[in-house]
Amino acid sequence: MTARRMRCLIVDDEPIGRSIVEDFVGQTTSLELCASCEDAFEAMNILQKESIDILFSDIQMPKINGIELVKSLPFPPAIIFITAHRAFAVDGYELNITDYLLKPVSYERFLKAVNKVAARIESMKNSIPQPSAENSLYIFLKANNKLNKILIDDIFYIEVIKDYVKINTGKNIFVTLSSMKAIEERLPADKFFKIHRAYVVALKHIKSIMGNMVELSNGDVLNIAKIRKEDLYKALNINDTL
């Protein structure tokens, strides 16, 4: 089975800088370019709507710089800073970025940074045992230094927080090092729905929908991404969207 390409976003106020990274991405079969932006505002808009694996960002940009952009993201993807200013390196590493590249960047150095992200994603996948069957009634999740058996029907929602995933069963919360995609692949698609890049909810536990918020039967209220709302209604067989 062919591995999924990593979706990436480029942000740089300099056209030449964007063009170089776009060319590098085009040469890399493991990458898929989602968008290329000239400022942080455009990038933030895309990050709210799209699932992004890697953000290639310049640092010194007008209005909002790269560091401010990353700090503003509640659930940032893997970050690779590409900049001409070495002085920002310390600030960048304090943000737990994956890599920091100084311009001019060679393709070899760019690829090394991309491979770091790929290895990190693969490591997160391998930290979770694979399900025994596609329609398993439970999953085993590594949390608190042990493997925990979690019944599928007990799961209210899953939340991604940086490199970790939190599974809420109402009675317990399990936090593990993983990607949202790795967890989603282990859940029956007809029982769960991704309402936001940060949340996957159990359809049977949805109690009500209020604007762009969904209330679950345990009382928790979560945001729905605008672009996911119509598909959520379809998943719930709702025709009246008033």
pLDDT in tens, 186-201: 888 889 999 998 999 9
Report the CATH superfamily, name and number, of domain 138-235. LytTr DNA-binding domain (2.40.50.1020)
CA distance 185 to 128: 11
pLDDT value at position 140? 85
Report the CATH superfamily, name and number, of domain 6-126. Response regulator (3.40.50.2300)
Cα-based torsion angle of the residue sequence 113, 115, 117, 123 in order, rounded to the nearest 10 degrees: -150
Q: In tens digits, what is the pLDDT along the chain, a chain of 242 residues?
A: 446 789 999 999 999 999 999 999 999 999 999 999 999 999 999 988 888 899 999 998 988 999 899 888 877 888 999 988 766 554 544 567 888 899 899 999 999 999 999 888 777 665 555 544 445 688 888 877 678 889 999 999 999 987 788 999 988 899 888 888 888 888 888 899 999 989 999 999 999 998 899 999 989 999 999 888 888 998 888 875 44
Query: Mind listing the pLDDT tens digit for each residue in 87-129?
Result: 655 454 456 788 889 989 999 999 999 999 988 877 766 555 5
Q: Where are the domains of the chain?
A: 6-126, 138-235
Taken as a whole, the chain contains a residue count of 242
CB atoms inside a 10 Å sphere around CB 218: 13
pLDDT value at position 79? 92
Is the pTM higher than 0.75? The answer reads no
- Which residue has tokens 């370019």? 33
Contacts of 172 (CB under 8 A, 6+ apart): none
